Structure 1
């Protein structure tokens, strides 16, 4: 999956940086701001929801308190003996007296209602057709006789919703009876519900519309002109789809909250218009998003321009690199047009081209030198058999003349020449190297009339350890030439070979003149860089790098040369046992 996503990424550096800037900077910032606005809206919504719920409960409580004041007022009329007598026998009283007494009773009832008195209207009619009303407001023409004899709403102070010139009212009806249980009149108390709601909600913090809704979802009365979605109202009454924050009428952008009123078999519903509270926030959000997109587009264009300016030199470098091979590394970028990191990059590129040209020239020079050396080697090997045949001729001639010493020297010299002319071998077995040392020592003893001896000390298991070809011969030569220079006889060379910690040590110890002090001529003579020892050190460096070394160690008598190299063992698969034993016998 990661590989699939990687394939969708742009290949150019400028496009990658542009994509990274957009995805990692712009989009997270936009998402963070939108999240912040959403949190603000959620906070406002919670505040509106909680405040609306509190206001709705307050309104319901006030309504129940106000409604509960009506029944005691009706009872107070029934307990007033004079009023009941006027209602049952109006002919016993003067008309003006009846009207005055009724008005005085209505005023007392309304005065006990306090600030709600203006929302109550009382109507009382006797069976003789006399009608009495409270206050100056009339809620319509009423026929007293029809009012008393009507079989409309059942008595018992059950509320009935009616229309009136003042709007929807809640009408409470009750019958007035005498001691014999005969109906002598009827009373109606009208509660101006719509006006009462409007007056009691003016001081609320949250602006809301209030609705009285029956169980079928029909709006009985409302305090505002806002419409509601019938489907949302039905779901609210059925209790379906309720969220933790109430019901939202998406069509009209209204938050609905309800509370039941059992006495009316209805629900009191509040509607909060969300546009009032979220209109400015959403407008600011829209403006911010628009401004952010404009600024983001501006920054994107500026970023793309900067990236193009920065990557243009890189594209030039890429083009120049493609042309390197075709132009044989003869390229150079003028640094005058660039600055900063790009200038450093251009200078590094030019320096790299210069170093590469120098390296190529060096390789060409070394190649020519190798060709020259190879030519010289070929010249040296042009006719080695001629030299070997000449030595054999001298050897047989010396043998025929009864000169065995000359014959042995010719044989030893042949072995040395044979190994030295074989350039295909760099490492040989220790047993072969010992043979070469024997041959060299025999030639030198013939020259110096046996003034030194050579002994070997090593484990036969090391016969097939690999050592550099002609590695011991220069050390033996150093002992003979410089160590035994002033000696007539008695010279001794001990060659010791052993293995320690994975390293092969070869020591050449002589009893000649030592190295002496730091400034003595003998030390300078024995430690000067002879051709043989110098070549040996270079060969060790080429073969083993830093894993091999050669050093001269001063001793009380004579000198010790130590050669250390990695231990390499290469035993043959079979054969060679007789030859190995013969050499060991001669070395002892």
Structure 2
């Protein structure tokens, strides 16, 4: 994942500046604008929904008014003495007179101030065989069929003397109403003793009412009436239908709600009519709501992206102006590498931060020159110490005495000791001449010391004994090559040879944390007596100083050398970092 991110991040500075501007400024700004426009659309949608709900509430009130008109009509018919007289005593007048009286009553009701509505129709039946209507019927009236209408069934009315039928088949002449169904109020006309003396049916043409509401709407809205079960009762536009999933979503949720129908891309509002158990649904196409907003949005974003394009070009030009001197500086740095840092940048060509950067670069080159000179001087010093180490380990006096010993042994007796002597000398000479490695394993360094001690035992006729104390788990620790031999030589020459008896040299090596501590102990004459006994030499001794310089060059402050006086002899201790290097074991193929 990190590799992919590194691969996607531009490498050049000007592209990084350009990308940073796009990601940190342009994209958030665009996202903020989109968010604000979505908020505007949401607010407009909410506002339109509130207005639509207000219209639905008005429709709800007008529908309630229609229902109240039916109840008022029923009350007037029930309280009218003429209607009661015609229905109770039709024999007192002839049939034409009764019909004329009822038609006048219907005309007065239609002309009344609360019932001037051509979508309301009423019919009255007596309990014998007469029927009176305020409308021309679709089919001839048959009293027996009208009387047997399920709307007048008292069992269905329960405890009330009236009943609403929402899907009553339209019985009005088609020239007057083309609706398929009417909303009818069926009721019994009763006297003060609750004795029925007639029946009334008052119907409301809700399709006509719905279409008249639709004509008054400003927007391209559509209105629907559906039942609680989701059945479509009527719609303002005969050619439009409410999708089944929308009706299913509305059904069973009383109250006022609105939502977006993504299928038709419309805003759906609805209100529950509790008295009829209906829903009045309003559908408004979103394209009508946001047509002006979409135009403004398109115009705004065209302008916005045009300005952003110009701004991006200016940003790229500005970033190129900033990065061009840096590219020049980068090329000069590459040239400085190829020319061994012997180059300087012209400071008069730049100003501001670039000038400070140029001066810093030139100062860095000067400091680098000084550092290189110091490193070269230190390298020369290291080579000189290396050379001194070789001289110290190939002491001509030691080699001369050793060769004389070998010569006299060869003359005096013929045995294998000469072979062992020459092997030990060869091992020391080989280690002295090999200058490739500064650090060797402690195991190899101990073997060199043992070879040196083997030779010195013959020279001094076993006057001293050397003991070794160390753990096997540090045998492969790294130590400076030929660091123990000069210290053992000092112990023999300056401490042991002046003793009247035999001497003892102890080599103790241990690990303490991250440090390796090496100690050379002898029971010689001590430092003060050795200084008194020291014979003048043709050249100064360089053993201790050689080791001290080598430790400083190899380990800096972590390499130390101490010479301590003890009650019996001298202790020389040096401390270096513990570096373990276990060699790889080569296995022979089977």
Q: Could you state the TM-score of these two structures normalised by the residue count of structure 2? A: 0.55
1:458 aligns with 2:472: no
Cα distance in 2 for partners of 1:200, 1:440 equals: 128
**Native 8 Å contact 2:347 2:355 kept in 1:** yes
Deviation at 1:53, TM superposition (A): 5.3
The worse-fitting range, judged by mean Cα deviation, of 452-461 and 324-333 is 452-461
Deviation at 1:330, TM superposition (A): 2.9
Q: Secondary structure at the match of 1:562?
A: strand
Residue of 117, 120, 127 corresponding to 2:115: 117
The worse-fitting range, judged by mean Cα deviation, of 430-439 and 245-254 is 245-254
Residue of 505, 510, 527 corresponding to 2:524: 510
Q: Which runs of 5+ in 1 are unaligned?
A: 125-132, 135-141, 175-186, 223-227, 403-407, 516-520, 523-528, 574-588
Q: 1:77-135 CA deviation, whole Å, 9 max, x = no partner?
A: 66253899899559999xxxx99x9878855x469x6x6333369999xxxxxxxx99x
1:151 aligns with 2:140: yes
Q: Secondary structure at the match of 2:31?
A: helix
Q: Which runs of 5+ in 2 are unaligned?
A: 124-132, 152-167, 187-199, 252-256, 413-417, 534-539, 586-590
The worse-fitting range, judged by mean Cα deviation, of 237-246 and 539-548 is 237-246
**Native 8 Å contact 2:266 2:283 kept in 1:** no
Q: 1:477-517 CA deviation, whole Å, 9 max, x = no partner?
A: 48966x89xx99759864211233364432245333559xx
Cα distance in 2 for partners of 1:510, 1:339 equals: 74
1:561 aligns with 2:561: no
Deviation at 1:27, TM superposition (A): 2.9
1:81 aligns with 2:79: no
Alignment partner, residue 317 of structure 1: 329
Alignment partner, residue 548 of structure 2: 537
Deviation at 1:551, TM superposition (A): 0.5
Q: 1:145-168 CA deviation, whole Å, 9 max, x = no partner?
A: xx6998389978975667899999
Residues 4-19 of structure 1: pairs in structure 2 closer than 5 A: 10-19=10-19
Deviation at 1:537, TM superposition (A): 1.3
Residue of 496, 512, 516 corresponding to 2:506: 496
Deviation at 1:235, TM superposition (A): 3.1
Cα distance in 1 for partners of 2:484, 2:283 equals: 108
Q: 1:80 to 1:505 in 2, by over 3 A?
A: same
Q: Secondary structure at the match of 2:335?
A: helix
1:293 aligns with 2:312: no
Q: Could you state the TM-score of these two structures normalised by the residue count of structure 1? A: 0.56
1:332 aligns with 2:344: yes
Cα distance in 2 for partners of 1:61, 1:472 equals: 120
Q: 1:176-205 CA deviation, whole Å, 9 max, x = no partner?
A: xxxxxxxxxxx9999797997799999999
Cα distance in 2 for partners of 1:366, 1:249 equals: 82
Q: Secondary structure at the match of 2:433?
A: coil
Q: 1:241 to 1:321 in 2, by over 3 A?
A: farther
Q: 1:262-303 CA deviation, whole Å, 9 max, x = no partner?
A: 99xx99654546567545655665565456535544553444
Pairwise CA RMSD: 6.9
Alignment partner, residue 430 of structure 1: 446
Deviation at 1:26, TM superposition (A): 3.0
Q: Which has the larger radius of gyration?
A: 1
Alignment partner, residue 362 of structure 2: 350
Q: 1:550 to 1:496 in 2, by over 3 A?
A: same
Residue of 243, 250, 254 corresponding to 1:235: 243
Deviation at 1:12, TM superposition (A): 3.2
**Native 8 Å contact 2:269 2:281 kept in 1:** yes
Q: Secondary structure at the match of 1:117?
A: coil
**Native 8 Å contact 1:122 1:189 kept in 2:** yes
Cα distance in 2 for partners of 1:269, 1:391 equals: 122
